Each structure stands twice: as structure tokens, then as C-alpha cells.
Structure 1
Amino acid sequence: MMQFDVRKHDFLARTGNLRVNAEQIIHTPAVLDTAELFPALHKEMLTNLPLSAPASDAEKYFMRGQEPSSVHPNAVPDPEAGVYLFSNWNTVLDDSKRFLETMEGMYAKIRPDAARYAPAAALPSNAAMLVYCGFDLFDYTAVDLASVQGKFLLPEGEFDASWMDKGICCCEGCRTHNLKLHNRTALEREIALAGLWLERGQLREFVEMRCRLHAPQVELLRRIDRSQAFDASLPAVRSSRFMANAGESINRREIDLFEERLISRYHPPRNDVCVLLPCASRKPYSLSRSHQMFVKVVDSRAHEVIVTSPLGVVPRDLELVYPAGHYDVPATGFWDAEEQRILVERVSAYLDAHRYERIICHLDGGAREVVLEAAKRLGLSLECTCNDERPLSQESLRALNAALDGCRKVRNDFIHGTLLWQFGEDVDTKGLVVKGRYPQVKVLLKKQQLFTTDPSTGLIRPTHEGWERISGYRIKISPGFVPQGDILAPGVAECDPRIREGDEVFVTGENYAATGKAVMSAEEMLASNRGVAVKVRKTRK
């Protein structure tokens, strides 16, 4: 049986190694000649049932076959398969609703540590989306058919074969006027590009760019953003840049996760005075020139909350955490109606959950309009200190300083705020000393180190002593399982269901304890028979 090892996740997408035999390993995502890889596939009977076939037909006529094992929405998949074959997937490519519904149902049934093969589906124009949706293996069937039909294929779409002579491409196929070779090369290049963006943690940005010329793909992307079926596959954090350059960026599920934790886990260090501030292009905000001026004027006399698109709100004590410390967005000062509607909802949710006695609005432009609408909805009064539409003007800064006159000072404890957001626990940080240069610091109690920050993600990394203050995000390994380095999925006996990829976790077992980072969700750890579940940082036996 073939074995598939996932190397890296990016939401549903994966890079991996498919071990065919002792000598052959295929690195995915990949396009290849599946007639050579699966020589018996063309002999398999009753494995090609239409996806729309009812359960009664699946029971009578469907057979899973050998490797790759066919899957159907109304049939039970092979629990031991190394590769799953998604027959007839090409029939749902232009129907985003059916595509998503079928994918949700079938992914819920199959093992996460098996490769997914979409036959006769991949074209240069849809390959990135198919990789984004979690498919690993592809063939040349669709591009070879297009070649027979006289179609010149590019990521931008399908064109007449005469385009080969227009100097658009200089591949070997175009130089030799070989349409089939060009189309195959175009598909190979697109899948390779998708794999590279996946490795960077920015496949979503690549897909947002590629799908612009294909309405069904834009529809599918928007439907996926509205679906909660794949939330377990969302990473808790990333270390890559979050490029919010498309209209769909504001609806990314990572933003929802960030804002949901603001409501359900986080609470401000004070509830008397809040200052709403504009964002900055430099991250973290406090290292920007504008925010250094804001921090100097506020002088710890209020809780600072940044209002920004596409996130909504970012408390100062969470400015390092992904995606707050990682996003880039085109800054025009103008927020369109749809953008404002979404941001009003997010700002309203935050101000409703965390009721401040006073709210000072030091904003201009679209951010100011959003906050005014949110306050109107909630019946809140605002004190506006930026009346000249220039938050950094001397007049505005003097007005902000005057509004804070007499307010008590409360230090910004970003360690406490991040621990709340990250673990959902009110960890006592009184008496702790922060050393180092922000944002890379160590947190000590006397001489004992409890926490460090991870500047790449914004999360807190507890030491063994730090984990004594946290009760959740634990993983228990099976009795008799002796880890030799990282924790493998088969060795996981129990785990906190809240764990997502990227979360800091604490692993315990017989005479064993380790700190590390989850590289799978809790759901995937328990369902997988292969793969690394936790990258171990430090062990104690």
C-alpha cells in the first residue's frame, strides 16, 4: 500500500511525500502520468459512479477498487487507503455550490493522512484553486483533451491555438510549435508555483490573484470563506505576511478566528477609558512613527485599541499576534460600503462585549465613520479628539492629551493579553519581569524563565515552569510510546480539542514532558496514522 506523509499545511492545502515503493517517492502537489503510477486503474470496474448518484445506486454499482481507492459522497471510503481517487471531480468545477457541498461531505469521511487525486480535472487556470482545496495529485487528461481541441492553455484561461505564435510563452512547446507539450508544461509550472506559494504560507494570496478571471472560482472562494466545515484546518497563527489586496481578504476565516477570540477569551486590562486609534503600515504598530507619538501622548492613561481594515479592532496588547502583526493592505483612507458594513459589525461586537466607561475616538476617514455607526447602534457616546481629520496634527494631539487629563496610568501588559487570547486563561502575571528588546522578550519570575515571545507569530512560548500556570492545550501520549524527537500522530492518545496547527502545546506521558508547537489540529492528530503531530522544542524526562 502507498503511504502519504504530510509535510506542511496551509489551510486545506498540503505539501507531502507519497511513498510508492522503497525506491520511488513523489513530492506533492504534483502532476504526473497516472497510467504509469496506477497501471491497473483502467481495469477497475464500477469505480466511476457520477457524484450525483443516490445512495441506492452507490450501494448497487459502486466499488472502491484498489490503490487509488475511489470515494463517493454516498459510499463508505476505504479506511486504509494511501491515495483517494475523487472520480468525476471535473463535473463540479463550474458549480461552486455543489463543489463545496461535495467536498465538505467527502473530506469528513476520509482519513486526513492520505493523498487526494483529482483525475481529469486540472488545467493551468484552475490548478491553484484545486491545490488550495486540498488536492495533491493530478494528471494530464484535461490538458491533453484541450490540446486535441486546439486550445492554448494559460493560467488566465483557454485560448485559440493561434495564440502560440503571439510570443506570449517561450517554453519548449511554443518554440517547437508543440501545443500538447506547451499545455502540459503550463500545467506543471502552475502546480509548481502553487507548491512554492504553499511553502511560503501565502497560497491564499496566490489564489486570490489567479481566480480573478474565473467567476466560478471567485464564487467558490467566497463560499469557502463562509463555511465553517473546515475550521479545524485553520492554523491558529502563521509567520507569513497576510496580504489583504482583494475584496475577499476581509472575509478570510483567520480574521474571524482572531476576532472571535477577542470576544470569547480576551478582556481589556482596564474598562474605564479606551482610545480608538488609526492603524499604521508598519507592524507592529508601536514601532511606527505615528504610534510612537500616540503612545507618548496617551502615556498609559487609557487602553489603546486600533481600528483597522480588514481586521476590525486590534488591542494594543495584541498587536504582535497573527494576523494583527502581519497584514498589509492598500491604504487609501477610503473604505467602501461593503467593507464598512463588515467592519461596523466587528467594531460593534468588540465594544458591546467590552463596555468602557469612556470611549475617545481619535480617528479620521473611513475608520471614524465605522466607529460612529457602531456607537450609534449600541447607544454609546464618543469623545472625538480629531476634529481636523489629521490624527497627528498638533491640534488633535493636544485635544487627545486634554481628554486624558487626570486619568490613572495602567501599564500595557501584552504578556497577559496575549495569554488570554492564546489560551483563554487568566494567567497571573503580577510580579513578572520582562527583559529583552520588544518584540523579542523573555518573561521571568525572579531568575526563573516562564515565557518567551515568538516574534514570527506573536504567540507566547511557555517553558516547563510556565506551563505550570496553564491548564489547557495539553496532549497525552499513549502508554509505552517513547518519543524519539518530535511527537508522531499515532502516539497521541488524548489532546485538547481546541488545538490548531501553530498552537503552543504541552505534551505529557510516562516519565515524559515536552514543550512544542502543534503542526496538526487536534482533530487531525486523532484521525491520522502517520505524520508529525508536534514539533518538540524542549523535553524533560
Structure 2
Amino acid sequence: MLDVVAREGLARAGRWDADGEDVRLPAVLHPDTQRSPAPDFAQLTISTDPLGSAATIRYEGTRLTPEADETGEGLSLPRALIYPGGVDESLQKAADELNREEAPIQIVHDPAEVGPVTGLLVLPRAREVADDAWRLAGFLTTARRRAGPNAVIYAPGIGRPDQIALAAYAGVDVFDGLEASLAALSDTYSRVERPEGSAPPEHPACACPACRDADREGWTLDRLREHNRREQRAEVRRVRQAIADGRLRELVEQRVRASPAHLATLRRLDEDHGDLYERYAPTVREDELPVVGRRSLSRPEVTRWLDRLETRYQAPESARTLVALPCSATKPYGNSPTHQRIRPAIKHNARGRAHVVTFTSPLGAVPEELELMYPAHRYEVPVTGDWNEREEQVIRRAFEAIWKNGGYDQAILHVPPDEADIVEEALPRAERTVEPGERPTDDEATDRLGEAVRASVGDDQAIARDDMFAEHMDNRIDWQFGPGVADVLAEDTWIRGKYPWLRLMHGEDQLAMIKPERGALTLTEPGGRRLHEATDAYTIEIDDFRPKGTVFAAGVTGASEAIRPEDEVVCVHEGELRAVGRATAPGEIMADMDAGGCAEVRHRG
């Protein structure tokens, strides 16, 4: 049984019941022999003669015999685990067919042949592709996708400390402990920041027991192996904690900088399999999203933002002028000193007809009504004023989408001239209000902005504040739940509260509210009913019970594939609303999960 408690990318942190022993994932599978006993801290071992308290996978017979050992009990491997290169393909396929339906351990060489698995899935060819960026990304992602949510994936040959974070992100649960011993046999000192390792240092900086002994008495094979195992263990624990904290992607981006091959693999994961990773990425985080390098521009959260600008976003109907403002370090932008210095010039002259859009990276552009939505309200990026080609492409794409989906008559670019150069071609009718050598906050520039805004709106009728707030609320609803949902969810409603703590009301019944720390609308039970009436895209089908607390997989019969972790969802039984809450897993795997939570209930129906 597998109980997943946290996810990021295709990585999972949780507990696996391995033949009655509790194994925390991700984990390392250590060989356990007389000449090379498994370390005391091993959770999972492979041995022909299981001893000790760790969960043990028994290894039966030779590597080249395809017949299964029918007398084995518990987690027992068939007589084929890893085939050396050149072994006849028919022999490999014969082993793949062993106990495919019932065995607690399945061995499949070709990920394309993987079917839904419950238990341990061994990928013997992982060693062959471990250092081939172009093959590794597809190999691991295909295996993870096809194996389903109940499979625990073991990748023999992948276990160097530098490989662990990236492979976990791609779906590997169990790593090869043999790699630590192989490195020691080649006189290699494992270091997570150096894929090739190094010669054993004369005075190691590591504080593990093996390194302390080596510092006093010199290196031996046993000490080198112990250090390598501890370095491997430490990285697995870092990865496990990073998954729990929602920070694995940041750790992966740090690790891949040490290896062109790893960087290429991450690029392939982003570009070839980005749609899959987006489905597993949460729509809300309550901490900051660090943007630390060019690969951050391809994070699932960033690509989702751009996709929704193109497919879900519609500019406010009353907006006649798009006003582009510069990015600021403070989020949301409306709270920044820069914007507080600039925006009065817009507000006092626009009569509600101007629409502020912030020029930024990595999201490209952020319309003012979406400033509280994740990740716009909580991302951290070094502000240098320099833009690389990839950032410029993203910015132009974002502004093109906003212009296309709005009824603007004109654009005003109140950004430094070099930024105006980037976006001007995306906006057909654009006027600049910042001269070379000026800052957007300079008095001359803000005066020029106010005059341009006043001229652009002309004699258009002023828009009431409440009407503008209603338009902005409609945009937030459609952004979060899909185009057209606001027509139902916000019908005959009014808005209570002071920005940003806004509540959507129907009479005296609250339907939803904005929580700035989450950056999304949260629904009440009446709001959930309206959402269910408007769309089934955020619906979880459950058995006949009244959920409270956690909705576990055992009670789920179906779920919309549009659901992402942290989405607002409704739980329904045969059309009857039973609960409103937030998703804790991707919708596409909920009905297939054997265990674990699918949603947390906030209101019962």
C-alpha cells in the first residue's frame, strides 16, 4: 500500500508498505551481502538471505534466467533484474511477462509497455539512459505516466547524489544504493555538486563519521563507501523535505547547473512533457515562488499563466486604454512604492476607463485584477532591468494575448524606453510617456502619463467603482474556473469588503471570498452549488457518504481531469452536492489511487 502525503512534479513523498515494513519515499535500495553489508540506516535492501529489520527484497537466482521462483514469499524478485547490454531481446521480453498481472514486483524494460502497476516497478534499462538527456526524460516520464499512481518506481543505475533530485522530479521513487559502492571501488568521493565526483580529499569538509576517521587515519575502501552512502542518503532526505515543502523544483534548478546533461534533461522535461507537469502543479502556494534562472521561465506555473492569458482571460469590458507599468520588487504591485507613486495619475484622469497591466518577468504581463492570483502575488525574481531573449518573447506573447482579448482603443507605455521597445510591436496603437533618461516615477513622466490617459478616454462616460469591481471579480472567476463561469457564479451578486479582502455576496449569503495569502477565490457551500451548476470541470464524484475532513481515494469514483492540486472543488454523489473544499491531488489520478487523500473539505453540503 502506498500513502502519498506530498507531491511536486511527478515526485511523491510518503510511505510504502513493503512486505509489512514501513518505507519512507523517496528511498534507496541497498545491496546487502557478506562482503558489503547494507548500512545500518538502510530502509530497503536487496539480498539473497534477508536479515535485519529493513524491508528486504529477495533476489532469486541468476540474472539471466527468466523463470520465476514460485516458492518465494513476500517481495521476491523473479530471476531477472538487470540485463547486461547485448542480451537477447527475446529473453528480456520473456522476463517482462513474468507475473505481469499479480506480482508485487514487475520488471519492464520498455516504458511504452508499462501498464497500471500496484507495487514495485523495476526499470532495468534506466542505467543505459541515465546519462542520455534526450532519452532519459522520455523514459522516466513515460514510465511514471503509464504506471499510474499506485506504482513505486525503482530505477537501477540511478543513484548518484547529483542524479537524485532530477530523477525524483521525473517520477523515480527508489534509487540504486549500488552506485555508492561502485563509486568507492573506482576511488571516487561522491559530491552532490560534482556529478563526476572527485578523488578522496586529504582533509574532507564533510562531517560524516567516515570523513572524520579519514581525516585522522586516511582513506580505506570501507570509509569511502560509507561516505558515499551517507552523501546519497543526505540528498534523498533533502529531496524528501523539498517535496514536503513544495520546493523540489528550486532544488532541481540548483542541481542541474552542475551538469550540462542534467540541464538538458530538465529542458526536455519542460519542453516535451510540460503539459503533464502542469497537471500536477498546484494552482496556489502560500509562500514565494523563486525565479532563479532561465529554466524558471519554463516552470509549470509560468507556462500555465501564459496559457490562461490566451485561453481564459478577457479584459474588462469598460477598459478603453491599456496602461503598461513597470515591474516592482513589492508584490502585489499595487502595494509597491513605485506603483503608488504612478497610479494616482491614472486614477485621477481615467474615469475607470484605463486598465493597468504590469510589465514583468517571468509571467510576461499581469493585469491589475489578477495581481492577487498565484503566482503573480508571490514570486521572487532578481530585478536587474536587463531582459534576455526568452524573457522578451514571453513578455510580447503575454501582451499580445491581453490586447487580443480586450476592446482597447489605445495603449500607453509608461515604462523605461528599453522596455517599451520590447512590447511596442505587440500593441498596435501605443504611446510612450517616459523619455530617455527619465524614471517612470519622475514628476515630468507622471504628468505626461496623466495627460495621455485623459486624452485617451476622451468623453467616455465614467465607470462607477462598484461596476469596475464587479468586472474585475468576473475576470478572477473566469480565470480560476474557466470562461463563462462568472455568468452563473456572479449572477445577481454584489461585493462586500475592502480590497483585497473582498466577498462575493448574493443577498446576505456569501458565495466566495478572496484570501490574499492564497491568491484565489475560496467557495462557500452556496458558491459550490453555483460552481457545480456552471461547470463540471471542478467536480469529484464520490460514493454515497457525507464527507468531512479528508476525502480519501477509497471513496472517489471519478474526477474531472481539469482539477489541479489546490483547486476549489465540489464533491458530488449522483448529482447531489455533498461537500465543497480544495483538491490535494490531480484530478486525472484520483479515481485510480488506492490510498491517500484527494480533497480537504471546507463546507458540507
Pick aligned residue for 1:197 from 242, 245, 252: 242
Whether the 8 Å CA contact 1:55–1:75 is kept in 2: the answer is no
> Partners in 2 of 1:262 and 1:120 — Cα distance?
42
Whether the 8 Å CA contact 1:70–1:77 is kept in 2: the answer is no
> Is residue 2:153 matched to residue 1:105?
no
Secondary structure of the structure 2 residue equivalent to 1:240:
coil
State the partner residue of 1:288.
336
1:52 to 1:261, Cα distance in 2 relative to 1, 3 A: farther
> Partners in 1 of 2:238 and 2:323 — Cα distance?
44
> Partners in 2 of 1:127 and 1:11 — Cα distance?
14
State the Cα deviation string for residues 461-508 of structure 1 (Å, max 9, x = none).
111112333222342434435545322223223333211111100111
Cα displacement (A) at 1:80: 5.0
Pick aligned residue for 1:305 from 349, 353, 357: 357
> Is residue 2:309 matched to residue 1:262?
yes
Please say which of residues 233-242 and 263-272 is displaced more in the overlay: 233-242
Pick aligned residue for 2:5 from 4, 7, 10: 7
> Partners in 1 of 2:146 and 2:84 — Cα distance?
18
Cα displacement (A) at 1:84: 1.6
Whether the 8 Å CA contact 1:475–1:492 is kept in 2: the answer is no
State the partner residue of 1:89.
126
Cα displacement (A) at 1:6: 1.1
Whether the 8 Å CA contact 1:71–1:106 is kept in 2: the answer is no
1:331 to 1:478, Cα distance in 2 relative to 1, 3 A: closer
Whether the 8 Å CA contact 1:55–1:74 is kept in 2: the answer is no
Alignment of 1:432-451 (within 5 A): 432-436=493-497, 438-451=499-512
The one-letter code matched in structure 2 to 1:445 is H
State the partner residue of 1:401.
450
Cα displacement (A) at 1:268: 1.0
Cα displacement (A) at 1:256: 1.5
Determine what percentage of the aligned residue pairs are the same residue. 29
State the Cα deviation string for residues 435-458 of structure 1 (Å, max 9, x = none).
445434333233211111233331
State the partner residue of 1:149.
186
Please say which of residues 305-314 and 408-417 is displaced more in the overlay: 408-417
State the partner residue of 2:478.
420
Please say which of residues 117-126 and 302-311 is displaced more in the overlay: 117-126
Cα displacement (A) at 1:431: 6.2
Pick aligned residue for 1:37 from 55, 59, 62: 55
Whether the 8 Å CA contact 1:50–1:88 is kept in 2: the answer is no
Whether the 8 Å CA contact 2:13–2:26 is kept in 1: the answer is yes
Cα displacement (A) at 1:343: 2.6
1:87 to 1:435, Cα distance in 2 relative to 1, 3 A: same
The one-letter code matched in structure 1 to 2:544 is G
State the partner residue of 1:136.
173
The one-letter code matched in structure 2 to 1:513 is R
The one-letter code matched in structure 2 to 1:203 is L
State the Cα deviation string for residues 398-439 of structure 1 (Å, max 9, x = none).
111111226334634442221110111341547644444543
The one-letter code matched in structure 1 to 2:4 is V
> Partners in 1 of 2:150 and 2:500 — Cα distance?
36
1:48 to 1:536, Cα distance in 2 relative to 1, 3 A: same
Whether the 8 Å CA contact 1:6–1:113 is kept in 2: the answer is no
C-alpha RMSD of the superposition = 2.5
> Is residue 2:96 matched to residue 1:62?
yes
Whether the 8 Å CA contact 2:503–2:512 is kept in 1: the answer is yes
Alignment of 1:451-470 (within 5 A): 451-470=512-531
State the Cα deviation string for residues 197-222 of structure 1 (Å, max 9, x = none).
22221211111111111111100111
1:41 to 1:446, Cα distance in 2 relative to 1, 3 A: same
State the partner residue of 2:69.
none
Pick aligned residue for 1:250 from 285, 297, 304: 297
Pick aligned residue for 1:338 from 390, 402, 408: 390
State the partner residue of 1:119.
156
Q: Work out the number of aligned pairs and report it.
A: 532
Cα displacement (A) at 1:371: 0.8
> Partners in 1 of 2:601 and 2:84 — Cα distance?
45
> Is residue 2:435 matched to residue 1:387?
yes
Pick aligned residue for 1:490 from 530, 536, 554: 554
The unaligned stretches of length 5 or more in structure 2 are 31-44, 47-53, 62-77, 215-222
Pick aligned residue for 1:276 from 324, 335, 342: 324
Secondary structure of the structure 1 residue equivalent to 2:341:
helix
Cα displacement (A) at 1:105: 2.7
Cα displacement (A) at 1:107: 2.4
Pick aligned residue for 1:318 from 370, 375, 378: 370
> Partners in 1 of 2:287 and 2:154 — Cα distance?
28
The one-letter code matched in structure 2 to 1:20 is A
Whether the 8 Å CA contact 2:542–2:555 is kept in 1: the answer is yes
Please say which of residues 104-113 and 136-145 is displaced more in the overlay: 104-113
> Is residue 2:579 matched to residue 1:514?
yes
1:395 to 1:20, Cα distance in 2 relative to 1, 3 A: same
> Partners in 2 of 1:340 and 1:468 — Cα distance?
42
State the partner residue of 2:416.
364
Secondary structure of the structure 1 residue equivalent to 2:257:
helix
> Partners in 2 of 1:121 and 1:64 — Cα distance?
24
> Partners in 2 of 1:52 and 1:350 — Cα distance?
56
